[in-house]
Amino acid sequence: MTTLAFVGLGAMGGRMAKRLLDAGHALTGYNRTAARAQWLVDVGMKLAASPRAAAEGADVVFTMLADNAALRAVALGSDGIIAGLRRGATWVEMSTVSPVVTRELGALVAARGASILDAPVSGSVATLDAGQLSFMAGGDPAALERVRPFLTAIGPTITHVGELGLAATMKVATNLQLSTQIIAFCESVALAEKAGIPRERAVDVLMKSVVASPMIKYRGPFVLGLPEEAWFNVSMMQKDLELAMELGRKHGVPLPAVSLAHEMLTAARGLGLEDWDFAVVFDVFAKLAGLPPAPKPAAPHR
């Protein structure tokens, strides 16, 4: 049996790991905060003491981390994934990070006689739970075929976009639309409400309209009540926009909508909202327009 390891068991990573367990795969996991992975241990996952320990016994290693720094922290050093990778193993790196970092790690992985794919995902907690997550993959097509059965246990759609690093690039290009779409949605709701249409009615109309993308359909209703656990918080969204602006500068592509979205998220952080799902950017519009903020639980779950 192919042995799997999963490093980074947060809101998305933990649910991905659960789908691998549900598919009958043997899985070893590592999470910086071990207590957050206990629910997976309870259903059959083995918990490793370090990223290296997780990787040492694995044919395939998956990672789902917050940012460049978190990825480097679990990848490098004597206790890192690369130190534990065995010859012939495949690392599936699913985080939203800089393609520069992905390629840096790729050189180190190749020196170990192993393979690495960048395979970030398009979707959210809701998409994942519905079995509709999609992957974009970069790297060796043969390595992708070796891990395809495990990826399809997580989500059904896989698109190979080219060499290592191009999937990370495509992910950044995709994610910039999350913030720009939600900002346009919040503008629509705020304008309708200020003009006299109840917020619930405005959201209902927009959900039934041609502007309701899949992302808007599952995140738009957050202006009526935010979840306790952020699916993707303000700080994480802003990190992705910074990656987009970095790529824009490198390739000479102007990104004015991204720049505006970045500033609106900065305003949300200025209001102390960085730990809520990024749909809380509605509160910036609400404050400026003299409307009530989005309803919230007592505090965001960290």
Q: What digits encode the pLDDT tens for the residues 268-291?
A: 999 999 999 999 999 999 999 999
- Please choose, from the candidates 22, 279, 12, the residue with its C-alpha nearest in 3D space to the C-alpha of residue 126: 12
Q: State the pLDDT confidence band at 302, using cuts at 50, 70 and 90.
A: low
Residue 1 has pLDDT above 80, yes or no: no
Beta bridge partners of 62: 6, 92
Percent of the chain scoring above 70 in pLDDT: 99
pTM of the model as a whole: 0.92
- Cα(265)–Cα(257) distance, integer angstroms: 12
Averaged pLDDT for residues 33-48: 97
CATH 1.10.1040.10 in the chain, residue ranges: 169-289
Residue 97 has pLDDT above 90, yes or no: yes
Mean residue pLDDT across the chain: 96
Residue 10 has pLDDT above 80, yes or no: yes
SS (H, E, C) 57-81: CCCEEEECCCCHHHHHHHHCCCCCH
Of the listed ranges 201-205, 227-231, 239-243, the one predicted with least confidence: 227-231
Averaged pLDDT for residues 208-226: 95
- Cα(243)–Cα(234) distance, integer angstroms: 14
- CATH number for the region 4-164 comes to 3.40.50.720
pLDDT digits (tens, 9 = 90+) for 136-194: 999 999 999 999 999 999 999 999 999 999 999 999 999 999 999 999 999 999 999 99
pLDDT for res 7? 98
Look at 72 and 125; give whichever has higher pLDDT.
72
**CATH 3.40.630.30 assigned to 169-289:** no
Averaged pLDDT for residues 71-90: 97
| Alpha-carbon distances, residue 21 vs 98, 104, 154, 186, 202 (angstroms) | 29, 31, 10, 38, 41
Averaged pLDDT for residues 89-96: 98
pLDDT for res 298? 83
| Alpha-carbon distances, residue 277 vs 33, 51, 288 (angstroms) | 21, 28, 20
pLDDT for res 258? 98
Averaged pLDDT for residues 80-100: 97
pLDDT for res 47? 97
CATH 3.40.50.720 in the chain, residue ranges: 4-164
CA 210 from chain centre, in angstroms, equals: 26
Residue 244 has pLDDT above 90, yes or no: yes
Rounded to the nearest 5 percent, the helix, strand and coil shares of the chain are 55, 15, 35
